[in-house]
């Protein structure tokens, strides 16, 4: 079986080699880049299945790389950030990044996150109907597509999985910890604000008026639900 191709981007060669070593042990094909410009060129040429992206990069900043990649493709992105850079994490998630890992990090944890994100890409849910309809919103699990008022909507893998989880039980209020567990599929360490950012991104894409959502409802003091 052909294994997924992962692009690792960091200006620290020791980090790049460490991540490469652990990913290759798991059978992944690994591409490497040491600055933002090289990362963009490689991503365009090689079309990786996932990008591990440091935010502090020479030539082109990591956030700009994330922004550009999200406009050019739907490749999932895992950000590498400093522990103190919470605002950078939020900005990255708003730009469409799927996950983040804070430095210093465990290579095993990073590999687990790579595996979890890749499982979400094109993943067909084993439970529930193949297609879920709610008013003018259609979630097609077979084709991994979402349509609103018959118009296809481009979602990141994490956004699709989040919507899929909520659609699995329409009207049920999910807490943020529940959504973190179900969407990310492993013990995601805190930062429940991640859910809020992805919900905000989803609302921009599927709601007629994101400030007055029809589909993704906030349940104050609890979390979120799909409609009534």
pTM for the whole thing? 0.63
Q: Higher confidence at residue 73 or residue 39?
A: 39
Residue 126 pLDDT exceeds 70:
no
pLDDT band at 39 (very low <50, low <70, confident <90, very high): very high
- Say how many C-beta atoms besides its own lie within 10 A of residue 41's C-beta: 12
pLDDT band at 78 (very low <50, low <70, confident <90, very high): very high
Q: How far is CA 191 from CA 177, 179, 180, 200, 206, in A?
A: 9, 12, 9, 15, 24
pLDDT for 162 equals 87
Residue 204 pLDDT exceeds 80:
yes
pLDDT for 119 equals 78
**Domains 5-120 and 131-226 in one fold:** no
Return the closest-CA partner of residue 227 out of 150, 166, 147, 180: 166
pLDDT for 228 equals 65
Give the up-direction half-sphere exposure of residue 186: CA atoms within 13 A in the CB hemisphere. Answer: 13
Core vs surface per residue 160-175: b (16+ CB within 10 A) or e: bbbbbbbbbeeeebbe
Q: How far is CA 223 from CA 10, 56, 82, 138, in A?
A: 35, 32, 28, 22
Domain extents in the chain: 5-120, 131-226
- Contact criterion met (CB below 8 Å) for 195 and 223: yes
- Contact criterion met (CB below 8 Å) for 6 and 30: yes
Instruction: Give, in words, the CATH class of 131-226.
Output: mainly alpha
- Contact criterion met (CB below 8 Å) for 5 and 49: yes
Q: Which residues pair with 7 in a beta bridge?
A: 31, 51
- Contact criterion met (CB below 8 Å) for 171 and 225: yes
CATH of 5-120, picked from 3.40.50.2300, 3.10.20.30, 1.10.10.10, 1.20.1050.10, is 3.40.50.2300
pLDDT band at 185 (very low <50, low <70, confident <90, very high): low
The rounded distance, in Å, linking the Cα atoms of 10 and 185 is 26
**Tokens matching residue 39:** 């990362």
The rounded distance, in Å, linking the Cα atoms of 221 and 89 is 24
pLDDT for 128 equals 53
**What is the residue-averaged pLDDT of the chain?**
83
Tens digits of residue pLDDT in 149-170 = 888 888 888 888 888 888 877 8
pLDDT for 186 equals 54
Section 9-32 average pLDDT: 92
Tokens 């890749």 — which residue?
118
Residue 184 pLDDT exceeds 80:
no
pLDDT for 8 equals 97
pLDDT for 72 equals 86
Residue 176 pLDDT exceeds 60:
yes
The DSSP output letter for 124 is: P
């Amino acid at each position: 079986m052909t294994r997924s191709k992962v692009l690792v981007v960091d200006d620290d060669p020791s980090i790049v080699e460490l991540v490469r070593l652990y990913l290759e042990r798991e059978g992944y094909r690994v591409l490497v880049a040491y600055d933002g410009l090289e990362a963009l060129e490689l991503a365009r040429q090689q079309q990786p299945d996932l990008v591990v992206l440091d935010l502090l990069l020479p030539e082109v900043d990591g956030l700009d790389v994330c922004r550009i990649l999200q406009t050019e493709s739907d490749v999932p992105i895992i950000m590498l950030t400093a522990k103190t850079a919470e605002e950078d994490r939020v900005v990255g998630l708003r730009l469409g990044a799927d996950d983040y890992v804070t430095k210093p990090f465990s290579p095993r944890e990073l590999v687990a996150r790579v595996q979890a994100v890749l499982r979400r890409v094109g993943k067909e849910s084993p439970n529930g109907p193949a297609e879920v309809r709610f008013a003018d919103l259609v979630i097609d699990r077979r084709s991994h597509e979402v349509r609103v008022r018959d118009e296809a909507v481009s979602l990141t893998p994490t956004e699709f999985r989040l919507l899929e989880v909520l659609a699995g039980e329409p009207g049920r209020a999910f807490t943020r910890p529940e959504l973190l567990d179900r969407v990310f599929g492993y013990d995601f360490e805190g930062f429940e604000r991640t859910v809020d950012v992805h919900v905000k991104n989803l609302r921009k894409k599927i709601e007629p008026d994101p400030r007055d959502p029809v589909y993704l409802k906030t349940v104050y003091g609890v979390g979120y639900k799909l409609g009534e």
